[in-house]
Structure 1
Amino acid sequence: MSTLKIKQLIMACSLGVMAASSQSYAQGQAFPTKPIRFIVPAAAGGPTDIVARMLAERMGQSLGVPVVVEAKPGAGGNIGADFVARSEPDGYTILMGTIGTHAVNQTLYKNMSYDPIEDFEPVSMVISYPLVVVSNPKLPVKSIAELIEYAKQNPGKLNRASGGSGTSMHLSGELFNNMAGIQIQHIPYKGSAPALTDVMGGQADLAFDSIVIAKPLIEAGKLRALGVTGEERSDALPEVPAIAETLPDYAMTSWIGVLAPAGTPEDRVLALQQEIAKALADEKVANHLKSLAAEPVGSTPAEFKAWIRSETDKWRPVILETGASVG
């Protein structure tokens, strides 16, 4: 199911979902009565952290309790995800999950401490977004075509930083390598912020990363944009070509969503989903996200669960075909 179809379905049934959420919320035990912990499985300053803080601020205002964002980076998001999976299923500890923690890592990692399906209750998909390929301005390439040609002429010379193994930043690069017939070495970091810092400093050559945090660095001339990973150009960077314009059929769209530990009462899951939907419906929040190429979604728990399963099925063969693996 495409993001567009999800959005259309949400628009059609949003009033019913909100009503059902409110009724369930009223019937259950009072919630929340204390601060909510929002766990981000990536380093502070990255796209997951930025979106979590934006959402937490709006939810906190509506709920009347603090929504505290706490970063627990490492292992491609597995550390933070495992922490939430083992937390009390009461709705007070929730996860900002990613394509890595819930659709990729179970295939990429040989040993997983949590089950992305059985150990969580999906709450809502929050946003979807394309990535942008950025390089150090001193790298002698100015387009995707030149990057591919340079990589072929200099085998083993180039490397690419990412926000961690199993992230969309990692897998988008693996897909690019595979489709272009090149090999750009992957270097995982504990988040987008440190990865892009090293690209700017010349310790890494390039990165596939979120437009959310790369755009201001591109505009400041600290990074050079080579291409975006969506099927088409992004409104946030309209002058930057889609990779597919050079490499037909290449497409990669990342996403972020909220999940609670398995066993969290349904009324609390629905209460959280309702607050997320309200936050994303806020014009200021929606416009800010769109300005950064992040498309607000706000799905129901059932829709998000189906999306996770479809994304898992999509990326499993890509990982196996590229040979990407983490011990």
Structure 2
Amino acid sequence: MRRHPTRRELLLAATAAFPGVAAAQAWPSKPLRVIVNFPPGGAADQIARVIAQPLQEALGQPVVVENRAGSGGNLGGDAVAKAAPDGYTLLMSSGGMVSVNPHIYPKMSFNPAKDLQPVAAAARVLVFLVVKPEYPARDARAFLADLKLNPGKRSFGSPGNGSSPHLAAEMMKSQAGVFAVHVPYRGAAPALTDLLGGQLDFLFDPGIGLPHVKAGRLRLLAVGSLKRSPLFPDVPTLDEVGLKGFDADTVFGFYAPAGTPAEVVARLNQEVNRILGTAAVKERIAALGGEPAPMTPAQFQTKAAEDSLRFGAIIRERRIVGD
């Protein structure tokens, strides 16, 4: 009498025939690693960590955050691009690594558009024009006038060449016809430290300096966005004070190595979007001056392409090159 295959035998046969599908169905079966391509304390790091904990609870596996900074985010991006596309290695990055770095690093070791797969946008991050308390200008218009009267005598910091705060300052310099000295740092946190210490005059802050604004240790003059921040409704945008169309917003989010199973990407996108809707995460992102930005992977990819066109124009105009 012919024996019919058992359910286990059928499952093993299916696993052998379609190993990728089986692996995706079993995912996750071990800890996930999220590489942040900027130093601890910056916006990317803070956003990654606030999402990692609830993501860990949702997936039932540890989610470990690892900082791997350098080359404007390229070191961390390279590590993820070359990792196994199995859903266990993710990247948390500013949008700049995908939409800006290809314009300023002619010989990148990977192609962000081809070697990385958008998984989930996390937050739209604004930049805030902040100055040291003793800066002579008391508002944004006076600040721009002061820069015009003192070409090359004022300095500003950034997390590095081509970072969104750097591009915001270059956009401002271009539109206002002013000049100030750029001092690049390896991350937003050390730039903020030197602004607080008086070594710099101003900074386009990606949100980590806002507690110092509220405490009176820094003065907020303007928002580098097309709309005002809900945290500071009385503070004008640079568009409002004469720099028409000024928009330096970027979107931070999660990426995976190209070829990661679609089922895994869909699950991660679903969980991150759900987490972005929770009160605790909304509050933490808002404290950075940002806004949760749930998107599908396709929408996230389209946004990166649009930003690439926008920032590429200022990079070519100002002849910005990577560190």
Q: Normalised by the size of structure 1, how large is the TM-score?
A: 0.88
- Larger Rg: 1 or 2? 2
- Aligned AA (2:146): Y
Shift in Å, 1:25: 9.2
Count residues in correspondence: 303
- What is the aligned partner in structure 2 of residue 252 from structure 1? 248
| 2:41 is aligned with 1:45 | yes
- Give the RMSD, CA atoms, in angstroms: 1.8
SS in 1 for 2:114: coil
Number of the residue aligned with 1:121 = 117
Identity %: 38
Relative to structure 2, which stretch is displaced further, 292-301 or 33-42?
292-301
1:277 aligned to which of 257, 260, 273? 273
Instruction: Kindly provide the amino acid, as one letter, of the partner of residue 223 in structure 1.
Output: L
Answering whether residue 195 of structure 2 is matched by residue 191 of structure 1, we say no
Give how far 1:27 is off: 9.0
Aligned equivalent of 2:215: 220
Alignment partner, residue 11 of structure 1: none
Aligned to 1:95: 91
Whether the 8 Å CA contact 1:40–1:48 is kept in 2: the answer is: yes
How far apart, in 2, do the equivalents of 1:292 and 1:203 lie? 23
Aligned residue runs from structure 1 range 95-244, under 5 A: 95-211=91-207, 213-244=208-239
* 1:53-92 pair list within 5 angstroms: 53-92=49-88
Cross-structure match for 1:5: none
- Alpha-carbon offset, residue 185 of structure 1: 1.7
Matches of 1:28 and 1:85 in 2, distance apart?
A: 19
Shift of 1:291: 4.4
Amino acid across the alignment from 1:236: L
User: What amino acid sits opposite 1:242 in the alignment?
Assistant: T
Q: CA deviation at 1:64?
A: 1.2
Q: Is the 8 A contact 2:161 2:320 kept in 1?
A: no
Q: In the TM superposition, what whole-angstrom CA distance separates every residue of 1:14-43 from its partner, at most 9, and x where no partner exists?
A: xxxxxxxxxx99993311111111111111
Q: For 1:207-238, what per-residue CA distance to the aligned partner results, in whole angstroms no more than 9, with x for missing partners?
A: 10122x12101111221111111112211112
Kept after mapping to 2: 8 A contact 1:99/1:167: no
Letter in 2 for 1:29: Q
- Whole-angstrom distance in 1 between the partners of 2:113 and 2:247: 25
Distance 1:181 1:25, change over 3 A: farther
Which residue identity lines up with residue 195 of structure 2 in the other structure? V
Deviation at 1:198, TM superposition (A): 0.4
Displaced runs of 4+ in structure 1, greater than 4 A?
24-27
**Equivalent residue for 1:307, pick from 300, 303, 309:** 303
The residue that corresponds to 2:8 in the other structure is none
Once structures 1 and 2 are overlaid, which stretch shifts more, 249-258 or 280-289? 280-289
Hey, what's the Cα distance between the residues in 2 that align with 1:216 and 1:287?
14
Letter in 1 for 2:241: T
Shift of 1:51: 0.6
Q: 1:289-326 CA distances to partner (integer Å, 9 max, x unpaired)?
A: 23443211221111111111121122111210122222
